[in-house]
Amino acid sequence: MIEKDIDEQIKWAKINADVLRSMENPRRAYWITFFICIAMMACAVTAEIYQYNTGMGVTNLNNPHMWDMYIASFVFWIGMSHSGTLLSAILHIIHADWRKPIYRFAEAMTTFSLMTAGFFPMIHLGRVWNLYWVLPYVSDRGAWPNFRSPLVWDAFAISTYLSASMLFLFIGMIPDLAICRDNARGWRRKLYTVLSLGWIGSDRQWRNFRKTYLLMACFLIPLAVSVHSIVSSDFAMSIMPGWHVTSFPPYFVAGALYSGCAAIITLFVMLRYYFRFEEYMTVAIMEKTAKLTFAIAMVWTYLNLIEFASTWYGHDIYAKELLIAKAVGPYSWIFWTMLFCGMVVPFALAVEKFRRHMPTMFVVSLLLNLSMYFERWMIVAPTLSMSHDPHQWDIMWPSIVQWAIVFGSFGWFGLLFLVFVKVFPSVSMYEVKEMVFHRRRLINEDAAKVYSRRARDRKDATGEPELEGA
């Protein structure tokens, strides 16, 4: 039996009511998570104040290890941001309508993980108060940033991506904000009135809206690919063994999609539970997301293995030595955990029984993201510990300050996300309406065909199928 993505008989009024209710009374687990996130953030703020006042040395960074968990987390969070917008845009263009109940929170995830990622280059700077020197502004001293530096490309790419994905999220939300406006009271009504920009659902608005949304989706797909390629060039543009790898851009993009999809599954399970969205975030949609994640996991696995193979058969002795050191050196337990969680665990997604069991999917998705975090760390740290000059080989483990800030970044992300889902509709109401409308229409047309065929064949069918309105 083919399971439906959504029950197409849901009334439109019920969709409105359910989603609007989600903004009012979540389960208690929501508030528990909320306060845990605040506590996590407090850890990071304390650590950052200490680091800011004392100097970067408190992170245990040293001469060969100039970068560590901050940059790994930066890449991790940027990667996480890829799935939401990219998948939403791709699935929009190919008319895969099962994206509709889940794309809103996925896009919010994109925006917030970008906002989290953006902190890390700042936290990691030695003199963060001069950060604005990276921006290309006209200065009276005639000084410009160095446009050759991949870090400047990062600044360009991330600001473009952040604004584009925020706009994409916002534009897609305007019709829903109008619904909220019509149903809210108090401060919420004022907020939604401003944000819905006077949306009344006229044909002119819808026509322009459709075109704008499509154009934005078309911009976002190449943009998202380019952003993570540029992040990968932070490494690939250098000459360090293990960083100077030609296959890094696709490898990073695949890794980004992978961790993003895993994060979508995590948040899917959480939101489904918190807001009682069982009717919208259905098991069938979870299955589709899981299958997609599995496919991406296999792409990532392939690119990972191809990177090892090209290093192994290549002539770069530094890189080969580094690869061996990764596998048997002091960081080897991280390396093997990453490979196990990234290449073996995703096979759980291929089992239907696991895909349909929410707690299992929650654990699996967390393991996948653990693997992706380790992957980023394995890219950053071992290269620095073992580069060209053997005199400067060193093993370094991050200090508690780094751990606290990285830990807190999850709190910050969680906080933003939880506030978002409480203030804004986390399921797109108008698009779920479209989804059920079109599906109802399709099913009715199919049924009509079946009936009419029967009518011809048996001459005993009775009339047209019921064409019920909204």
Partner 1 sequence: MSLQNIMENWSNYRRGAEEGGHHKYEHRWGMAINLDLCIGCNACSTACYAENNLAVVGKSRFAKGQAMHWLRVERYWDESQNKSSSVTPDYPEEGASFLPMMCQQCNSATCEPVCPVAATYHTPDGLNAQVYNRCIGSRYCSNNCPYRNRYFNFFSYYESSWPEPLNLQLNPDLTVRDKGVMEKCTFCVQRIRAAKDKAKMADRKVQDGEFTTACAQACPTGAIVFGDRLDETSKVAKLWQQHEVKLGVYKQHKQNPEKRGYRIFEELNVDPSVMYLERVRDTGI
Partner 2 sequence: MSKNYRIKALFSDFDEAFGALSDIRHSKIPGISIDDVKLASPIEHPEIEEVLGDRTVHIPKLTLAGATFGVVFGFLFLASAQASFLVQPQGGKPVIPLPSNFVLVYEMLIFFGVWTTFFSFLFLSGLFRKRSNLYSEKVSLDQIGVIIEVNEQQRDPLKDLFKKHQSLEIREEEIR
Q: Which positions lie near partner 2, rule CB under 8 A?
A: 11-13, 16, 136, 142-144, 146-148, 152-153, 156-157, 159-160, 163-164, 167, 171, 175, 178-179, 182-183, 197-212, 215-216, 219, 222-223, 226, 230, 233, 430-431, 433-434, 437, 467, 469-470
Nearest to partner 2 of 206, 308 (CB atom): 206
237 forms part of the interface with partner 1 (CB under 8 A)? yes
Minimum Å gap between C-beta 192 and partner 2 is: 11
Question: Residue 199 binds what, of partner 1, partner 2, none (CB under 5 to 8 Å, by partner type)?
Answer: partner 2
Of 3, 16, 67, 80, nearest to 368 by C-alpha is 80
407 forms part of the interface with partner 1 (CB under 8 A)? no
Residue position matching structure tokens 């006209």:
138
Nearest to partner 1 of 42, 400 (CB atom): 400
Identify the three-state secondary structure at position 102. coil
Q: Quickly count: other Cβ atoms within 10 Å of residue 118's Cβ.
A: 18
Residue position matching structure tokens 């290549």:
314
Q: Tell me, what DSSP letter sits at residue 140? A: T
Q: Which of 28, 95, 148, 204 binds partner 1 (CB under 8 A)?
A: 148
63 forms part of the interface with partner 1 (CB under 8 A)? yes
Q: Which of 133, 206, 312, 347 binds partner 1 (CB under 8 A)?
A: 133
Question: Residue 272 binds what, of partner 1, partner 2, none (CB under 5 to 8 Å, by partner type)?
Answer: none
25 forms part of the interface with partner 1 (CB under 8 A)? no
Identify the three-state secondary structure at position 132. helix
- Cα 402 to Cα 62, 67, 93, 132, 298: the distances in Å are 13, 11, 41, 24, 32
387 forms part of the interface with partner 1 (CB under 8 A)? yes
Identify the three-state secondary structure at position 412. helix
Q: Which of 9, 54, 163, 208 binds partner 1 (CB under 8 A)?
A: 54
For 254, the enclosing helix (H) or strand (E) is helix 248-274
Q: Please state, in angstroms and rounded to a whole number, the distance separating the CA atoms of residues 246 and 233.
A: 9
396 forms part of the interface with partner 1 (CB under 8 A)? yes
Question: Residue 456 binds what, of partner 2, partner 1, none (CB under 5 to 8 Å, by partner type)?
Answer: none
Question: Residue 226 binds what, of partner 1, partner 2, none (CB under 5 to 8 Å, by partner type)?
Answer: partner 2
User: Which residues, including other chains, have CB under 8 Å from residue 74's CB and lie 6 or more apart?
Assistant: 117, 120, 121, 124, 231
DSSP 34-96: HHHHHHHHHHHHHHHHHHHHH-GGGGT--SS----HHHHHHHHHHHHHHHHHHHHHHHHHTT-
246 forms part of the interface with partner 1 (CB under 8 A)? no
Q: x/- string (CB under 8 A) for partner 1, residues 293-332?
A: ----------------------------------------
Nearest to partner 1 of 128, 448 (CB atom): 128
* φ/ψ (deg, to 5) at 233: -75, -15
Nearest to partner 1 of 96, 134 (CB atom): 134
Question: Residue 426 binds what, of partner 2, partner 1, none (CB under 5 to 8 Å, by partner type)?
Answer: none
160 forms part of the interface with partner 1 (CB under 8 A)? no
3 forms part of the interface with partner 1 (CB under 8 A)? no
Minimum Å gap between C-beta 434 and partner 2 is: 5
DSSP 371-410: HHHHHHHHHHHHHHHT-S-GGG-------HHHHHHHHHHH
Question: Residue 126 binds what, of partner 1, partner 2, none (CB under 5 to 8 Å, by partner type)?
Answer: partner 1
| 218 Rama sector, left if φ>0, alpha if ψ -120 to 50, beta otherwise | alpha
Question: Residue 250 binds what, of partner 1, partner 2, none (CB under 5 to 8 Å, by partner type)?
Answer: none
Question: Residue 337 binds what, of partner 2, partner 1, none (CB under 5 to 8 Å, by partner type)?
Answer: none
130 forms part of the interface with partner 1 (CB under 8 A)? yes
60 forms part of the interface with partner 1 (CB under 8 A)? yes
Minimum Å gap between C-beta 172 and partner 2 is: 11
Q: Quickly count: other Cβ atoms within 10 Å of residue 240's Cβ.
A: 17
Query: Taking a C-beta distance cutoff of 8 angstroms, is the pair 436, 11 a contact?
Result: no
Q: Quickly count: other Cβ atoms within 10 Å of residue 334's Cβ.
A: 17
Q: Quickly count: other Cβ atoms within 10 Å of residue 326's Cβ.
A: 25
Q: What is the maximum span of the chain, computed from C-alpha positions, in angstroms?
A: 91
Nearest to partner 1 of 112, 331 (CB atom): 331
146 forms part of the interface with partner 1 (CB under 8 A)? yes
61 forms part of the interface with partner 1 (CB under 8 A)? yes
Residues that bind partner 1 (CB under 8 A): 54-57, 60-67, 121, 124-128, 130-131, 133-134, 143-146, 148-152, 155, 234, 237-240, 384, 387-392, 394, 396
